[in-house]
Structure 1
């Protein structure tokens, strides 16, 4: 299997997060922190969930050693601060994917679960991480609509036709 789809997914993830955070950081504070009927109940809680799960899986993928300790943190409530932290995590994921070779793509990765360590294939763990990000970004997208904010377009990254201008630097790896 080629590595390019994994690198592209990581680049798309960084762009989609930056695009989503541009909308979120422009929101009035009361709309950002308001309670909404949703799985996590608010925009900052949903964004923090995305971020901390990214930290968890990136730590496992890179054999960082933090394990479940990444969850022992307070939520970052300032949207600009959370956006910066997420961007740093996104860059780490891009570097990880770009640094792989095809042989390592199928390596086993140990993930520290609540009930003990489990072993997952690296490619499947990456696919799960990308799906997790898309799933919860979709929830924030919906919450923006509930807050009366026009949610940004997040799906015009991969195709030449219709690729939004803001996606180009991420596509080109800049």
Structure 2
């Protein structure tokens, strides 16, 4: 069973990793950011855009709020520029941290129901499983971005969870 502490740790890890990416991506030329590198979403920018869109989508489900709309394919263009992405990423990471600090044990064992555009139907799953997927999805796509950056000679911050600073700044 997932715990509130797990959610807080993973929210901190997410924010710490994205903080490093924000610095790197804001300094990269747009042509490098948008170059198709053969990854699932093509470019570095399309991948981080998809991840921000997906985080926004999952948080809307967790909180029972309106979704950001759009499809997985459209998610690649969720934000128009690295600067816009960086600002929204910063806000979303803060939002996720606040949510994690307020999540209740009961929330994590309850069922979550939503309409899946990907499946084209209503879905109901254990909230804890959905939260685990949420954090795993972040790590998966950041790993793709890390690999693409490494391939072009840019060294992002380490990704090992045990290297995360004990205290902020994560944002």
- What's the TM-score, normalizing by structure 2? 0.85
Take 1:4 and 1:75, find their aligned partners in 2: how far apart are those partners?
Answer: 30
Name the residue aligned to 1:88. Answer: 91
Aligned equivalent of 1:23? 24
Q: CA deviation at 1:111?
A: 2.4
TM-score of the superposed pair, with normalisation by structure 1: 0.84
Q: Give the number of aligned pairs.
A: 165
RMSD between aligned residues: 2.2
CA distance in 2, matches of 1:41, 1:97: 31
- Deviation track 1:50-84 (CA, whole Å, cap 9, x = no partner) reads 01111111100000033x72547743231121011
Shift of 1:110: 1.4
Secondary structure of the 1:111 match is strand
Structure 1 residue 69 corresponds to structure 2 residue 85:
no
Indicate whether 1:132 and 2:137 are aligned: yes
Distance 2:90 2:21 in 1: 11
- Structure 2: how far apart are the matches of 1:100 and 1:119? 19
- 1-structure distance, mates of 2:154, 2:49: 20
- Which sections of structure 2, spanning at least 5 residues, go unmatched? none
Separation in structure 1 between the aligned mates of residue 5 and residue 24 of structure 2, nearest angstrom: 29
Give structure 1 regions of 4+ aligned residues with deviation exceeding 2 angstroms. 70-75
Aligned to 1:107: 110
**Given that residues 11 and 94 in structure 1 are in contact (C-alpha distance below 8 angstroms), is that contact kept between their aligned partners in structure 2?**
yes
Q: Give per-residue Cα distances to partners, 1:25-44, cap 9 Å, x unaligned.
A: 22233222222121111011
2:148 is aligned with 1:143: yes
Unpaired stretches in structure 1, ≥5 consecutive residues: none
- Which residue in the other structure is 2:124 paired with? 119
Q: Flag the 1:90–1:35 CA change in 2: closer, same or farther, 3 A.
A: same
- The question of whether the paired residues in 2 share the 8 Å contact of 1:56 and 1:70 is answered with no
Is the Cα contact below 8 Å between 1:31 and 1:147 reproduced in 2?
Answer: no
